[in-house]
Structure 1
């Protein structure tokens, strides 16, 4: 797997090892997600799918702000 510029969630807090990280995959215009605790396990997805997930979470009562 090629190296990517992984970005941690702003909700990560003190920089511990239990954070959501995201990277773009310019070669196929995709997105990759991983948990910093298990960096070898990568979930590839599309920008549209990630956007739908975030919008769905925000729409839930008590969702993300």
Structure 2
């Protein structure tokens, strides 16, 4: 997804026991993004999901 950038809000795919959720990007790395979960059970928590879990942009940024 070439338009990923800091402050973008994206949808992270469901994985393991974590449901699909919104995530605000802090940085875009070679193989992952870093930032904060906005919704779901880890809302407010820092995370580093791999790029393959980024499903889509939420369209609000």
Asked whether the two chains share a fold, i.e. TM above 0.5, the reply is: no
TM-score, structure 1 normalization? 0.30
Which has the larger share of helix? 1
TM-score, structure 2 normalization? 0.31
